[in-house]
Amino acid sequence: MQPAVAAAADAEKFTVHDITATHKRLMAGSSNSGIGGRIRTEQNWIGGSDYTPCSADFMPPPEYVEELLSDLCDAIEPE
The domain segmentation of the chain, as residue ranges, is: 2-75
Q: What is the pLDDT of residue 76?
A: 83
Average pLDDT for residues 65-78, to the nearest whole number?
Answer: 89
Q: What is the pLDDT of residue 5?
A: 84
Q: What is the pLDDT of residue 78?
A: 66
Q: What is the pLDDT of residue 32?
A: 94
User: Residue 15 burial by CB count (10 A; 0-12/13-18/19+): exposed, middle or buried?
Assistant: middle
Residue-wise pLDDT tens digits, 11-70: 888 899 999 999 999 999 999 999 999 999 999 999 999 999 999 999 988 999 999 999
Q: Report how far residue 11's alpha carbon sits from residue 22's, in angstroms, rounded to the nearest whole number.
A: 13
